[in-house]
Structure formats: structure tokens, C-alpha cells
Amino acid sequence: MQIIAKFTMTKKLSQLQSLLAAKNWQEADVETRWVMLTIAGADKRDNLLLTQTDIEQFPCQDLININQLWIQYSQGRFGFSVINRIYKKVEQNYSQLAEQVGWKKGDRWLNYENLIFDISAPVGHLPVSWLVPTTFGMYWQARFARVGWELLLSRLNSCQIS
């Protein structure tokens, strides 16, 4: 059973790599979500959300692999570690992070369809949909997502991913 799960995950990471190599940023963003849900086992839940426990126990090596793919194919512009560096630079202020990476313009949170899915996006703009489905409005995400992002960025630190 574990061999099948490992094969499935290798296939999912390969699919993510192909999307990133093709510079298909939006599909890669959505695929990142599915990879993370699958790793955590959350893909089998009705709500398809990562829980606090899922994030706190997310395997470091899988987080490293996902992050490295984003870093590699975006020439260092996108990835969780990029977002984490910006978060630290703005003294862990989520609203300032969102503004700097382009999820928020002034007081307005952008909807998913208004994000920029090409290399010209602000540094740290992607990946973003790992936390909640793309059907949720960005404003709602902002209220809920701050906690999720803080958990993930804390997990990056505990995995020594910088």
C-alpha cells in the first residue's frame, strides 16, 4: 500500500513539475493544492481543506520538494520560502505581506481570477491556492488565510526551509 501511495505522489510531483516547466502558473498553483491535499490525506475529506494538524505535521521533505520546484522554474520569484522571506521582512504582518506580493491592493483583497499568473507577477505572488479552493473570494480568504499562512510559514521554519 505504501508503495502505491509513494508512486501516486511521485506522479503528482511530476505533474506539478511539468506544469511549472511549461510556465503554466495557474494550473501549477491548483496542482500544488492537490499535491498538498494528497500528501496530508485531506483529498479524501468532503471539505478538501488542510487542517492545523495537517499543516503542523506536513512532511518536511515534501514541503522542500514542492518549494524547490517553484523556486527552480520561476528563477527564484515564486515559492513558499520566497513568501516566508518577505513575511519576515515585513515583520510578520500578513496584510503587508499580501500587499507586497500582490494579493491585496490598498484595502481591496483580490479575487483569485484577478491574480497574475505569469512571471511578471510580484515576487512571492505564487503559490497561493494551497490553502483554500479557488472558488472562495480573496477577501474571505484573507480573514481565514492569515492563520493558515502563519501555520505554513511556521512549518517552513521548523523544517529549516529558508
pLDDT tens per residue across span 70-115: 999 999 999 999 999 999 999 999 999 999 999 999 988 888 889 9
What is the per-residue pLDDT for 142? 61
Give the mean model confidence (pLDDT) for residues 38-55. Answer: 91
Contacts of 27 (CB under 8 A, 6+ apart): 19
- Architecture per CATH, domain 2-158, reads as Orthogonal Bundle (1.10)
Prediction pTM value:
0.89
Rg from Cα positions in the chain: 15
Q: What 3-state DSSP class applies to 44?
A: helix
Residue 152 — φ and ψ, nearest 5°? -65, -45
User: What pLDDT is stored for residue 46 in this prediction?
Assistant: 85
Structure confidence by residue, pLDDT tens digits, 27-39? 999 999 999 999 9
How many Å apart are CA 40 and CA 139, to the nearest integer?
26
pLDDT in tens, 116-160: 999 999 999 999 988 776 666 655 566 678 889 999 999 999 999
Cis status of the peptide bond prior to 127, with omega within 30 of 0: yes
pLDDT band at 69 (very low <50, low <70, confident <90, very high): very high
Q: Give the pLDDT of residue 8.
A: 52
What the block records as the C-alpha cell of 143 is 480573514
pLDDT higher than threshold 50 for residue 3: no
